[in-house]
Structure formats: C-alpha cells, structure tokens
Amino acid sequence: MIFCAQYPIADMRQILNSQSYGLLGIPKWPMPDSEDDFVRHFGGIRTRKKGGLLLLGGEDKICKAKRAVRFTQSPVFRDKSSSLTISFRPERRFFFDGKLSAKFELALSNATPYSDEDNLPPLHLNKNQTRNLIKFFLDLKLRVPNYQENEIKEYPIMNIGKPISQLYNYATIQKKQNQENINAF
C-alpha cells in the first residue's frame, strides 16, 4: 500500500527575472548532477532507479528531500479494535522541471527497505480499519523548518503546502540577497 500526497509549487521567478530574486545557479534543473548537486535544506539529487516520466520533465532526477519535512512520531498505524499494526516507510521527494513546475511529494508505503515496491505485502482491511487508516494518514503531524523565524513549526499533513513552498523559496535564493520577497512566494 502506498499513500502519497503531492504539493504543487509554481515558481514564476525564472519567467519574471531571476536576477532580481538572487536565485542560486544550482542545482542545474532540469538535468542536475546526481553525484554532486543538492537542494539546500531539502537534500541530495539522485537518479530514479526506474527513470521517470520525461513528458512531465524533471522526474528522472529527484531530490531526496529528507531534510525538508520530519514526522513528529514514527508513522506506525495501530488499529485499536484488532491487533493490526502497519509500519510505514516514508519517502520525501522534490521534483522541478527547471522552468515553472515543481512539486514536493510525501509517500508512505508498507514496503520494507529490502522489498520490491512492485510487490508490496497485501493488506486485507475491513471497513472500520480502512476508515481508521485514512484518519491516521490525515491526522499525521509534520515538522517543517521556518528559517525566516529561526524555528521548526508543526503542521497537519494537509497544511504543509505553504510552509514547503516558503522553505523552497528560502532554499533557492542567495543568503546575502535581500529576502524581502520571501513571504510573497
């Protein structure tokens, strides 16, 4: 089973005037160097094992964004009405097409680190277990760094879109650059 939430980001700075925003020149999207490049405050760039959808752009190279979002507790579902326990492995990825479209993706799967994601362990859930599992996902709390205020804030999974886009904005501008426009992003 895979639960996936995607948070789209429209980055207009490339179109408007990247010079005035003090954008960093790295990584060099849409073809970053998967050996050396990284996105500050997010993580390193990697090549996807099975490639990506080249039509969408930027999905063959991903940022393993482990630093962008942290869970407040381990994502383990426990159904109180039965002995069902499901441990989830989190994945955090960031994609960018180098022009306009970016997305942050948060995925949880019941795969073990050694299993093939095409052959996930089957789950047989009844109606109440399914309802409780969905509620568990929607109630997850995440911590997102807020470098403008020098703190880490906690958000429900459904509300991390704006904090993630603000973190992305902060991470992709030069530190010496005046950051007055950071909250307008």
The pLDDT tens digits for 126-140 are 999 999 999 999 989
CA proximity to 62, closest of 50, 77, 44, 79: 44
| One-character DSSP codes across the chain | -EEEEEEEEE-THHHH-HHHHTB---S-TTS--TTT-EETTTEEEEE-TT---TTTSS-SEEEE-TTT-EESS--EEE-TTSS-EEE-EEEEEEEE-SSSEEEEEEEEES--TTS-GGGPPP----HHHHHHHHHHHHH-EEEEEETTTTEEEEEEGGG-HHHHHHHHHHHTB-TTS--GGGGG-
Counting residues of the chain whose pLDDT is more than 70, the rounded percentage is 79
The average confidence (pLDDT) of the chain is: 80
Half-sphere exposure of residue 99: CA atoms within 13 angstroms, side-chain side? 4
Instruction: Give the tens place of pLDDT for each residue, 61-97.
Output: 888 999 999 988 888 898 888 888 888 888 999 988 8
How many Å apart are CA 13 and CA 9, to the nearest integer?
12
Q: Which of 1, 136, 142 is nearest to 79 (CA)?
A: 136
Check whether 98 has a pLDDT greater than 90: no
Q: 32 phi and psi, to 5 degrees?
A: -70, 160
pLDDT, residue 178, reads 44
Query: pTM, whole model, 2 decimals?
Result: 0.79
- Taking the C-alpha atoms of residue 101 and residue 120, their distance in angstroms, rounded to an integer, is 30
Quickly state the pLDDT bin for 14 (edges 50, 70, 90): confident
The predicted-structure confidence for 24-67, as pLDDT tens digits, reads as follows 777 777 677 777 788 888 898 888 776 666 555 557 788 899 99
